[in-house]
Amino acid sequence: MNGLERLSLNQITVRGWSLERAVRGCAEAGVPAIGLWRDKVAETGLERSASLVRAAGLKVSSLCRGGFLTATEPDARQRALEDNRQAVREAATLGTDTLVLVCGGLPEGGRDLPGARRAVADALAELAPYAAESGVRLAIEPLHPMFCADRAVVSTLSQALDLAEPFPVDWVGVVVDSYHLWWDPELERQLARAGDRIASYQVCDWTLPVPEGALLGRGHVGDGCVDFTALTRAVARAGYDGPVEVEIFNERVWATPGEETLATLAERHRRLVAPYLDGA
Amino acid sequence: MNGLERLSLNQITVRGWSLERAVRGCAEAGVPAIGLWRDKVAETGLERSASLVRAAGLKVSSLCRGGFLTATEPDARQRALEDNRQAVREAATLGTDTLVLVCGGLPEGGRDLPGARRAVADALAELAPYAAESGVRLAIEPLHPMFCADRAVVSTLSQALDLAEPFPVDWVGVVVDSYHLWWDPELERQLARAGDRIASYQVCDWTLPVPEGALLGRGHVGDGCVDFTALTRAVARAGYDGPVEVEIFNERVWATPGEETLATLAERHRRLVAPYLDGA
């Protein structure tokens, strides 16, 4: 027992590392799971990536990411669906049951937000049975509302659950990411509602100022204003007992040696998250 | 009839102008109302500001802003309450019935978001009767969730309505600001719920990228991705028949000569907002 049994490294957090180096980093740091990104997997090769994580005895907590399902133009829509089917096959090969979906923003120049949201629902209906056949669950990730225009028209846990609930629970789940959801007055209630729909718990902290472009402002757990005690307890009480994946987009973190980043996130996990994973 | 009967200039939009210059600008452009800021009023003097707008025949659509009610330390809390009572008196002197409240972010270094939200509710209970005695309605402004940490723990219209509803409708209302609320999947439903609680309709557009600090990224109506047709109709159908206040925080807009800014917002109002103010 090293206190890291529930920890997973999302590999974007050590962006400078290859997949092979990240796998080795996890093994060395005693982190038992890793969340993979498709571009990094492609760099290393799909089969080779799969055998590297297997050989290291790592669990693959998720694959990031499918999604971008809001195109209305028929060709673009077909390309997006095919790309998502490809992502499902990659997830299956890598041995993970969780494909994270970042659903996509408004189509270029578009203003029809309800239409974009319907497009996501329609795409889920096409993709979920396909994914389920491969034993892969689609995990809808609500992104912070500041990404609504350009990254994800799914902005709240409530909305993600509305999208997921028409499907069997093991076909479509949701991602609970502290950065995206911490502000939501509905969060505690929606977590209780989510229950077994929670496919992934991702953590990083809200730090200020929001940087230009909004993407790279996330901090290590404990560096910002998210109450990880309350959030972790609520996630645990909802019944979630899977990995806690640390996913940080931040130029400063990316400029830090990977070993140091891993040491920091392990320490934060032990102190600020792990003690509350029993819900008490 | 110049098509601007419902338009109001929030004076932050012409930030380089004094209050006197902004009042003259409105008169020259045929804009019948203005939203004032306390710092600009202080610069000009309260009584003089009041007589300038009266002499120009302008309606004062709102005073920005009270709020910042999340301090928990007793002295800081008392100072905030007194500052808000002062703002109420200023609003009454200026002849507006609407004091916009930006409720405040987390207390410095704090992580107790539910606690900060309770502090807002408690402060409203102290301030609302005082304001009502002066004929001033407190208008809770939900701010975009990206401001939750540092500016407003009130992030959605639903939450603002929950805070407002314990009070008589003419004591506490809400501000509907396109920039802050456009992304909300609940928006249409909450607007219908809001009804007579809508104390102000503020407009500007969501443009990308989000700038560093997140504050100054707002664009002229029509420059971004907000569907002003749908939003304006929904606000009108809720029963709102007051001024449409254009409030833009943007360095480029601020660097533009005020006359030009006024001409732009008048054109956008006529074309993109006014036609839908009857709800049809």
| Residue B268 located in a structural domain | yes
Cβ–Cβ contact B251 with A under 8 A: no
CA distance A41 to A65: 11
Q: What is the mean pLDDT of residues A182-188?
A: 98
DSSP 8-state assignment for residue A76: H
CATH code of the domain containing A140: 3.20.20.150
For A220, the domain range is 7-276
The crossing angle, in degrees rounded to 10, of helices B113-133 and B74-94 is 40
Q: What is the mean pLDDT of residues B39-51?
A: 98
Q: B272 is written with which tokens?
A: 């993109």
| Residue A271 located in a structural domain | yes
Please state, for a pLDDT cut of 90, what percent of chain B lies above it. 98
Name the residue type at position B120. Answer: V
Give the per-residue pLDDT at B1: 82
Q: A56 is written with which tokens?
A: 């290291």
Q: What does the DSSP assignment read for A200-252?
A: EEEE-EE-SSPPTTSTT-EE-TTSSS--HHHHHHHHHHTT--S-EEE----HH
Q: B36 forms bridges with which residues in the sheet?
A: B63
Q: B45 forms bridges with which residues in the sheet?
A: none
CA distance B147 to A183: 9
Q: What is the mean pLDDT of residues B84-113?
A: 97
Q: A33 is written with which tokens?
A: 């799971």
- Say whether pLDDT at A280 is over 90: no
| Residue A1 located in a structural domain | no
- Say whether pLDDT at A279 is over 90: no
- HSE on the CB side for A218, CA within 13 Å? 22
The full length of chain B comes to 280
Please give the model's pTM, rounded to 2 decimal places: 0.97
Q: Give B226 to chain A, closest Cα distance, Å.
A: 6
Tell me whether strands A59-67 and A33-37 are parallel, antiparallel or unpaired.
parallel
8 Å CB contact of B214 and A209: yes
**Residues A27/A17, Cβ–Cβ less than 8 Å:** no
**Residues B243/B8, Cβ–Cβ less than 8 Å:** yes
Give the per-residue pLDDT at B253: 97
Give the per-residue pLDDT at B193: 98
**Residues B9/B262, Cβ–Cβ less than 8 Å:** yes
| Residue B46 located in a structural domain | yes
| Residue B13 located in a structural domain | yes
| Chain B neighbors of A186, CB-CB under 8 A | 158
Give pLDDT tens digits for A2-33.
Answer: 999 999 999 999 999 999 999 999 999 999 99
What ipTM is given for this predicted complex? 0.96
Give the per-residue pLDDT at B279: 85
Q: What does the DSSP assignment read for B180-221?
A: HHTT-TTHHHHHHHHGGGEEEEEE-EE-SSPPTTSTT-EE-T
Q: Categorize the per-residue pLDDT at B101 as very low, low, confident or very high, splitting at 50, 70 and 90.
A: very high
CA distance A144 to A180: 4
8 Å CB contact of A185 and B209: no
Q: Chain B: residue nearest A108 by CA?
A: B225
**Residues A199/A173, Cβ–Cβ less than 8 Å:** yes
Q: Categorize the per-residue pLDDT at A216 as very low, low, confident or very high, splitting at 50, 70 and 90.
A: very high
Give pLDDT tens digits for A48-101.
Answer: 999 999 999 999 999 999 999 999 899 999 999 999 999 999 999 999 999 999
8 Å CB contact of B225 and A159: no
Give pLDDT tens digits for B104-122.
Answer: 999 989 999 999 999 999 9
Q: Chain B: residue nearest A154 by CA?
A: B185
Q: Categorize the per-residue pLDDT at A258 as very low, low, confident or very high, splitting at 50, 70 and 90.
A: very high
What does the mean pLDDT of chain B come to? 97
CA distance B33 to A34: 58
A248 vs A20, A97, A278, B15, CA distance in Å?
19, 22, 24, 37
Residue appearing with tokens 């096959």: A89
Give the per-residue pLDDT at B180: 98
| Residue A34 located in a structural domain | yes
| Residue A2 located in a structural domain | no
Give pLDDT tens digits for A231-244.
Answer: 999 999 999 999 99
The residue of B163, B210, B218 whose CB has the most chain A CBs within 10 angstroms, and thus the best one to mutate to test that interface, is B210
| Residue B1 located in a structural domain | no
Q: Give B182 to chain A, closest Cα distance, Å.
A: 9
User: Would you give the end-to-end CA distance of chain A in angstroms?
Assistant: 20
| Chain A neighbors of B232, CB-CB under 8 A | none
Q: B244 forms bridges with which residues in the sheet?
A: B7, B201
User: Would you give the end-to-end CA distance of chain B in angstroms?
Assistant: 20
The residue of B154, B183, B207, B251 whose CB has the most chain A CBs within 10 angstroms, and thus the best one to mutate to test that interface, is B183
The full length of chain A comes to 280
| Peptide bond just before B209 cis, omega within 30 deg | yes
B245 vs A19, A23, B10, B18, B62, CA distance in Å?
52, 55, 6, 18, 9
Q: What does the DSSP assignment read for A146-172?
A: GGTTTTBS--SHHHHHHHHTTS-TTTE
A91 Cβ contact partners less than 8 Å away, ≥ 6 residues apart: A63, A97, A98, A99, A131, A134, A136
Number of domains comprising chain B: 1
Give the per-residue pLDDT at A118: 97
